[in-house]
Homo-oligomer: A and B are copies of this chain.
Amino acid sequence: MGPTIADVARVAGVSRSTVSYALSGKRSISGETRQRIFDAIRDLGFTANAGARALATRRTMVLGLLMQFEPDEFAPAMLQYVMAVTETARRKGYDILLVTDHDGPAALRRITDSGMVDGVVLLDVLHDDPRLPVLREAHRPAATVGLPADTEGLDVYDLDFGAAARQIVDHLRDLGHPEIVLITPPRPVFSRGGAYSWRFRDAAVEQAARRGVRLTAHYGEADPSRIPATVGAVLDAHPQATALIVHNDATAAMLPAVLGARGVAVPGDLSVISLYSADFARTFSLPYTFVESAPGLLGRSAVEALVHRLDHPGGPDRPVTRLVAPHLIDRGSTR
């Protein structure tokens, strides 16, 4: 379609290799030649063909972003990861191939075997994620958001859900709450292997026991229309509970409406504390004290690790698993 490097070479009166080197800066070009080349590039409106470059360099400068949309996940929260990944990638000179195929392993094999991407970022990684075996065969650098059971060869980033749970339980205990109710992610998230669900819950249960606090965990609803009834039933079942921990975006988003309808005042009647991102809180005007889930940081870190690995092939850096320390934002909804 457009002009090729040969056109530029001809107009500038140099060889194609000289144009290529001028473009890459991989060897020095005399000032005057350089000038003629860039003039020609500008005049012709030349842009190097990505496919040809990829074929020659074996680098596409494209990253695969694999996400899955589970019906029991709350879509609004996902976009924050996507945005963080995309923007970081661009800043590092990479584009993003977005893959949402239902068959994640097959999709991964496809984009990787065909050389469409230099590396991949996996979102929504499960404890025993079926994409990981494929990834290991593919011999491509990869970073994940989410902690799998086997982190071998991966750069892994996730929130430290255990620490988050302990911090939240301690926070409530220090305020003197004797009985706490926890709403966890929906049951399908547990059975599917969404490890963050039990990492948080189990740590909360343990910490509560250690601190001598009564804590009961209940599954949140996957079906939004049932959230009000379920929250109501949970609160009814624990009339003595003075604090509620919400580890479920869908429930958190509806909580003001649900508690408002029940006439429950926060923190007067009930202390509420949750786990989500500041951006999420802003989008839904959630007034609760929360632990930041840090999608921006996690997405950005994953991409930066991946890019670093791509830009330093065979480098000395061991794959890293980083669990981000929780950060509690006190909005005054507990006391």
Tell me which residues across on chain B come within 8 A of A233, comparing CB atoms. Answer: none
Chain A 35-51, CB-CB to B under 8 Å as 1, else 0, gives 00000000001011111
Nearest chain B residue, comparing its CB with the CB of A65: B98
Contact yes or no, A1 B115, CB < 8 A: yes
Q: Does A225 contact B (CB under 8 A)?
A: yes
> Which chain B residues border A113 with CB–CB below 8 Å?
2, 45, 47
Q: Is the CB of A98 within 8 A of B98?
A: yes
A87–B110 CB distance below 8 A: no
Surface stretch bound by B, among A6-14, A170-178, A211-219, A256-264: A256-264
What is the copy number of this chain in the assembly? 2
Interface pair A90/B95, CB less than 8 Å apart: no
Are A87 and B114 closer than 8 Å at their CB atoms?
no
> Min CB distance, A202 to chain B, in Å?
28
Contacts of A285 in B (CB 8 A): 224-225, 227-228, 254
A306 CB–B CB distance under 8 Å: no
Interface residues in A90-122 (C-beta closer than 8 Å to B): 90, 95-101, 109-111, 113-116
Looking across the interface, which residue of chain B has its beta carbon closest to that of A80? B75
Asked whether A115 lies within 8 Å of B83 as measured between CB atoms, the reply is no
Which of A96, A113, A139 has most chain B Cβ within 10 Å? A113
Q: Which residues of B contact A60 (CB under 8 A)?
A: 51
Are A76 and B254 within 8 A (Cβ)? no
Is A237 part of the contact surface with B, judged by Cβ < 8 Å? no
Q: A281 vs B82: C-alpha distance in the bound complex, in angstroms?
A: 23
- A110-151 interface code vs B (CB 8 A; 1 in, 0 out): 110111100000000000000000000001000000000000
Tell me, rounded to whole Å, the shortest Cβ–Cβ distance linking A33 to chain B: 24
Q: Which residues of B contact A116 (CB under 8 A)?
A: 50-51, 62, 95
A283 is an interface residue with CB less than 8 A from chain B: yes
CA distance A70 to B97 in the complex (A): 22
B51 and A253 contacting across the interface, CB-CB below 8 Å = no
A190 within 8 Å of B (CB atoms): no
Residue A69 lies at the interface, judged by CB distance under 8 Å to chain B: yes
A254 vs B101: C-alpha distance in the bound complex, in angstroms?
Answer: 32
- Contacting residue for A100 out of B58, B87, B97, B228, CB 8 A: B87
Cβ–Cβ < 8 Å partners of A260 in chain B: 257, 260-261
- What are the residues of chain B within 8 A of A50 when measuring CB–CB? 51, 114-116
Assuming A1-B58, A75-B79, A86-B100, what are 16 further A-B pairs, CB within 8 angstroms? A2-B115, A45-B113, A47-B110, A48-B114, A50-B51, A51-B51, A51-B116, A52-B55, A62-B116, A78-B79, A86-B99, A90-B100, A98-B98, A224-B284, A253-B284, A260-B260
30 cross-chain CB contacts under 8 A: A1-B58, A1-B115, A1-B139, A45-B113, A47-B113, A48-B114, A49-B115, A50-B51, A50-B116, A51-B52, A51-B54, A51-B60, A65-B98, A74-B283, A75-B76, A76-B79, A76-B283, A82-B82, A82-B98, A83-B100, A90-B101, A95-B97, A96-B98, A97-B97, A97-B98, A224-B283, A227-B285, A254-B285, A256-B257, A257-B257
